[in-house]
Amino acid sequence: MTSIKPLFLSLLGFAIFLGLVSFAFYGKMIFLNSQIAFVSSSLVMLGSMMAYKRMIDTRVEHNIITIDDSKDIIDTLEDPYDLYDDTEIKDDKEADLVETVKEERAKLKADKRPLREILKDSKASLSAYRLLAYTSLILGFLYLNRQELLHIPSYLLGLGIPPLIMVFVLLRGKKEKGI
């Protein structure tokens, strides 16, 4: 949680600055668009960070390791589906096409995971933090659109600033820690 507090304070400070500048120089419509977009984008970013942090903390607490170091990273990037696996070298004359297709289908069926496992791995994406944040993003956009207040450039500006602030604050924190 130590990296979330400076991030939150930076986002809050910039939201106030953006609000003052947009209201003073551009008017109410630009102010509403930039603030709704900025706040909802900030909520999405903070919600995602908190959900992933919670998931990682739980995995560390229960000593669950999900990284498979048996394959080289370059092999994983070049051949993510093990199409060129060296352990199964077959002569093309011996292997019948129909048999090969049946074997591959059987492998795919064996690799299917139950719904419980999929939900267990997707806890961070189904987190209440993220779902509420995305709901605020959608409702904010719909509100502006229904009230005919939507100004796309200021809305996009408000959406784009929080990720940049996050990157800046996190990189600055990383540099200060000497990592």
What six digits make up the tokens of 162?
């929080």
Residue 63 φ then ψ, to 5°:
55, 45
* DSSP letters spanning 16-82: HHHHHHHHHHT-HHHHHHHHHHHHHHHHHHHHHHHHHHHHHHHHHHTT-----TTS-HHHHHH-TT-
pLDDT value at position 68? 58
Tokens 């990284």, located at residue: 67
Distance CA 138, CA 25 (A): 27
Q: Where are the domains of the chain?
A: 4-177
Coil, strand, or helix at residue 11? Answer: helix
pLDDT in tens, 21-39: 999 999 999 999 999 999 9
Residues of the chain with pLDDT under 50: 1, 93
pLDDT of residue 86: 59
